[in-house]
Structures are given as structure tokens and as C-alpha cells.
Amino acid sequence: MKVKLDRHIQEFLEEFNLGEREVSIYLTLLKTGPNTIMNLARETGIKRSTTHNNVEELIKKGLISQTNFGERRMVVAEDPEKLKFLMDQKKWRMKKLEDNLGVVIDRINQMVPEAREKNIVDVKYYEGKDNAMLIYKEAFNADELRSYVNLEAVSEVFSDNAQLYQEAQKRKKSKLVREIIDASDSSIAKGSEFAKDDNFDFKASKTAMNLSSIDVLIYDGKVATINFKDSITGTVIANKDYYENSKAIFDMLWNVL
């Protein structure tokens, strides 16, 4: 039987750098005590393989430990007081990120003109909704996709995007998609719907989404931006160094959110 969770606590922990499934597993373990992966999957309603992966992440974060009862592997939730320690770690990581962000951004801004001089950068510009959709079609078919996105704004302008993404997922089950989205209720609801797919994960940020573009996509050695201030436009920069640095910054932000 699935354990009923306190929604207010769940929402707070999701803001605490925990995914929705991780929150469900952790709170369920606190209520049930030591448990097996199989029982935990049944009680949370999460696939066994997905439960196992999320338990491993929670072990890394220090919120779950494992022990053996006879020959059975059991997992145990750590005391909620551990959250205070994790909060201190998050503050330290954020300070480190803030201290280095200016230098990293300056370096990235230097890379595009440097690469252009060496003829190793390819920049393409797209105008109009139909042409901008070509960027999404390419990105959704990539093996990995990272994105900073205002899901609410994108869904209003590109209403066919959800269907386009789902069709791409059917063709390519191995795809990994991570999105850092704005924290509006509408965007979080849309992200939660996409997160029903095991390959999709998102984190919401109230402070990290003050971007001039509604979508920044990082995929297949490219960084694309899509905007619609005066008209719908898109830009795709293909450059290995720019891509790798953009991906590294995204992953760094992902780990501290």
C-alpha cells in the first residue's frame, strides 16, 4: 500500500536539492523504518529499477544508509537532523559557485571569438516559429539534452513541443534529459508531467532563471538559444569547447540546486 505523504514537507524537500522520487522514497522510509528495495518500490509506486537508482543517490547525499539483516540488504532513512548538515554543505557550494562564476563567464565569453578566428565555430541563425522548431527537433533527438527553460513561456509559444518531445522519446529510449526550470506553478506542473518518463528529470529555481532567452539547450556539441522578444528567433553555436564548458556549468548548477 502506498504511503500517504505530507505535501508541504515534500515541496520543501524538493527545494532542498531532492528530486520528487527521492523525496517520496526518503519520507516513506522514515515512516516504514528499515525496508528492502522491493517493498520500497511497492510502497512508493515507483519502478524497482528507478527506486534502486534513487536510493543510490540518497546514499550519496547522506540521507539513506544500508545494512544487512541476515542475507537481505535493507535501507534505512537517516535522522532528519542530517538536513542541517546538508544545508551547510549547500551554502558552501553556492558561495564557491558565486566566487568563481564571474571568472567562468568571462572565459566563456572569450571563447566564441577565439574559436571563430580559428575557423572551428559554426553559428546558425533561425527566424520565425517554424525555423525555431527545427532546433527543438534536433535537440529532442540528441542522446543527451540539458536545458535552462521557462516551461510556461515555451508551452505558450511552442504548443506542439510536448508532443514533439514525446515522439522523440518513443524513438530513443536511452535519451537523458535534464532541465533547470523556472519555479512557477505552471512550469513545475509541466515538469512533473514530463518526469513520469524515467529518462527525464528537472529542478526548479526561483533565482537562477533570470535569462533573456526562454530556452537554452545544450546538446550534441551545440549550444542553442531561443527567444521571442520582438519576434521568434533562434541561434545555434557549434563549438566543442563552448559546448563542454556550458555543459560543465550546467552540471555544477544542477548539483547545487
Q: Please determine, for residue 22, whether its predicted confidence score (pLDDT) is greater than 60.
A: yes
Q: What is the pLDDT of residues 104-159, one digit of tens each?
A: 766 766 666 655 555 456 889 998 888 889 999 999 889 899 999 888 888 888 88
Superfamily designation of domain 90-256: Endonuclease Chain A (3.30.870.10)
Put simply, whether the predicted model's pTM sits higher than 0.75 gets the answer: no
Where in the chain are all domains bearing CATH 3.30.870.10? Answer: 90-256
Whose CA is closest to 150, among 205, 98, 197?
Answer: 205
pLDDT at 171 over 70: yes
Question: Is the pLDDT at 172 greater than 70, yes or no?
Answer: no
Helix/strand/coil percent split, the chain, to 5:
55, 20, 25
Strand locations in 21-157 (E): 64-69, 72-77, 122-127, 144-149
Please list the residue range(s) of the chain that carry CATH number 1.10.10.10.
Answer: 7-80
Question: Which CATH class, in words, describes the domain spanning 7-80?
Answer: mainly alpha
